[in-house]
């Protein structure tokens, strides 16, 4: 394929969703070792939104193609005897490039698509379920029978963490800001639901656990949510700091940390595997195994066309989304 044009969503400035535009991109001939993937679906993640403002820890040079995860089919390969053949369905995982008609990749950037998922589900699987896996298993050491509290439980990372926590045998308490979001958590297996508007979540967690508190807490929200989490963590509990969707960092109350003998643990799922590739490979294999065995899947709250990417990002910004948002790509 030479001199073919295909659409991509290009971020031109750091003004937020308004700075993202759909444009034709020239597809260069493949270099040795490369494959061309015809993308079928791509999923939104909160870091995509942060990147449009230049507020994410990874700051790509402008202009760049937005999107961290997608699923597609191999359309061209320079290595017909390699691991991937034309027609294979694959996951594309990156920091950028997923909201486009095509991705040009090395074999190391793709993985076979999980067989138990649809295209839309597979597109939305990698980032949030990897974050949940690294959080609960590698960082939180969650054990069967423990109590897991998930904040932001109706969002992408939250939903995946509820589903994985349940598969690992925890009692899962899900907290979120609306009944729609709690419905997503319930569908993912949550045992108890807390709407922040109806209850103080620490009080309700303490009631549910007879004053013991949650053994593991996953916090993708930050700010006062993080701070209040220390009011309902169990003795020797693990508070996992996964994100700051609320836009504020929390302040650590070291008196409570000492009094409860608990740990506050940071999570960076992608960096976990980049820093230690052997651990990254172990995590990938473990995640695939439990996802297929336990039928773990993202819940798709809404689908969009590629041309609607800015609207999808704005919906995420308004907190007006449940589960995962997926862009269906038809070029």
Residues that bind ligand NAP (CB under 6 A): 45-47, 127-128, 131, 152, 154-158, 176-177, 181, 220-221, 242-247, 267-269, 316, 319, 321
User: What gap in Å lies between CA 316 and CA 321, rounded to an integer?
Assistant: 6
Residue number, 83 or 284, with CB nearest to ligand NAP: 284
State which residue, 6 or 269, has the beta carbon closest to ligand NAP.
Answer: 269
Nearer to ligand NAP, 6 or 132 (CB): 132
How many CB atoms neighbour CB 92 within 10 A? 24
Q: What is the biggest distance separating any 2 CA atoms in the chain, rounded to whole angstroms?
A: 66
Closest CB to ligand NAP belongs to which residue? Answer: 155
The closest of 151, 155, 191, 206 to 49, measured between CA atoms, is 155
User: Could you tell me if residue 172 is left (phi over 0), alpha (psi between -120 and 50 degrees) or otherwise beta?
Assistant: beta
Task: Name the minimum Å distance from CB 256 to ligand NAP.
Answer: 22
Q: What's the min distance (Å) between Cβ of 206 and ligand NAP? A: 20
Distance CA 314, CA 298 (A): 21
| Residue appearing with tokens 């609306």 | 178
Name which of 140 and 158 has its Cβ closer to ligand NAP.
Answer: 158
Strand runs labelled E in the chain: 4-11, 20-27, 34-43, 64-65, 69-77, 89-93, 102-106, 110-112, 147-150, 171-176, 192-195, 214-219, 233-241, 263-266, 300-305, 324-328
Alpha helices in 195-301 (DSSP H): 201-208, 223-229, 254-259, 269-275, 277-294
Report the residue number, 17 or 155, with the smaller CB distance to ligand NAP. 155
CB 44 to ligand NAP: min, Å? 7
Q: Of 48, 43, 42, 41, whose CA–CA distance to 17 is shortest?
A: 48
CA 235 to the chain's CA centroid: 29
* Nearer to ligand NAP among residue 102 and residue 138 (C-beta): 138
- Shortest distance in whole angstroms from residue 76 CB to ligand NAP: 31
Q: What's the min distance (Å) between Cβ of 225 and ligand NAP?
A: 7
For ligand NAP, which is the closer residue by CB, 84 or 201?
Answer: 201
User: Residue 24 or 247: which CB sits closer to ligand NAP?
Assistant: 247
- Alpha carbon distance 66, 309 (integer Å): 10
Specify whether the CB–CB gap between 323 and 299 falls below 8 A: yes
Tell me the closest approach of the beta carbon of residue 66 to ligand NAP, in angstroms.
Answer: 14
Closest separation between CB of residue 109 and ligand NAP, Å? 18
Compute the distance between CA of residue 202 and CA of residue 230 in angstroms, rounded to an integer. Answer: 8
> What is the nearest approach in angstroms of ligand NAP to the Cβ of residue 246?
4
């Amino acid at each position: 394929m030479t001199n073919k044009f295909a659409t991509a969503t290009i971020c031109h400035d750091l003004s937020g969703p308004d700075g993202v535009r759909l444009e034709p991109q020239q597809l260069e001939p493949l270099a040795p070792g490369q494959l061309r993937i015809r993308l079928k679906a791509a999923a939104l993640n909160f870091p995509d939104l942060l990147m449009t403002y230049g507020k994410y820890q990874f700051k790509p040079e402008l202009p760049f193609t937005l999107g961290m995860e997608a699923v597609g089919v191999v359309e061209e390969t320079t290595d017909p005897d390699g691991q991937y053949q034309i027609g294979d369905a694959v996951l594309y995982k990156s920091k950028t490039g997923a909201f486009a008609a095509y991705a040009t990749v090395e074999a190391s950037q793709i993985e076979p698509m999980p067989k138990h998922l649809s295209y839309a589900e597979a597109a939305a699987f990698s980032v949030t379920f990897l974050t949940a896996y690294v959080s609960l298993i590698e960082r939180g050491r969650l054990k069967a029978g423990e109590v897991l509290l998930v904040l932001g439980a109706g969002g992408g990372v939250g939903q995946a963490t509820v589903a994985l926590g349940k598969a690992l045998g925890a009692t899962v308490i899900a907290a979120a800001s609306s009944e729609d979001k709690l419905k997503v958590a319930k569908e993912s297996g949550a045992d108890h639901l807390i709407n922040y508007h109806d209850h103080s979540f620490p009080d309700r967690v303490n009631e549910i656990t007879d004053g013991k508190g949650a053994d593991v807490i996953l916090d993708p929200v930050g700010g006062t949510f993080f701070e209040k989490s220390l009011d309902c963590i169990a003795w020797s509990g693990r508070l996992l700091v996964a994100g700051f969707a609320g836009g504020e960092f929390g302040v650590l109350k070291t008196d409570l940390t000492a009094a409860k003998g608990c740990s506050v643990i940071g999570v960076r799922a992608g960096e976990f595997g980049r820093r230690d590739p052997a651990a990254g490979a172990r995590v990938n294999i473990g995640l695939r195994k439990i996802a297929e065995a336990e039928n773990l899947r993202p819940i798709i709250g809404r689908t969009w066309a590629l041309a609607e990417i800015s609207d999808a990002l704005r919906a995420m910004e308004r907190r007006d989304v449940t589960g995962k948002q997926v862009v269906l790509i038809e070029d």
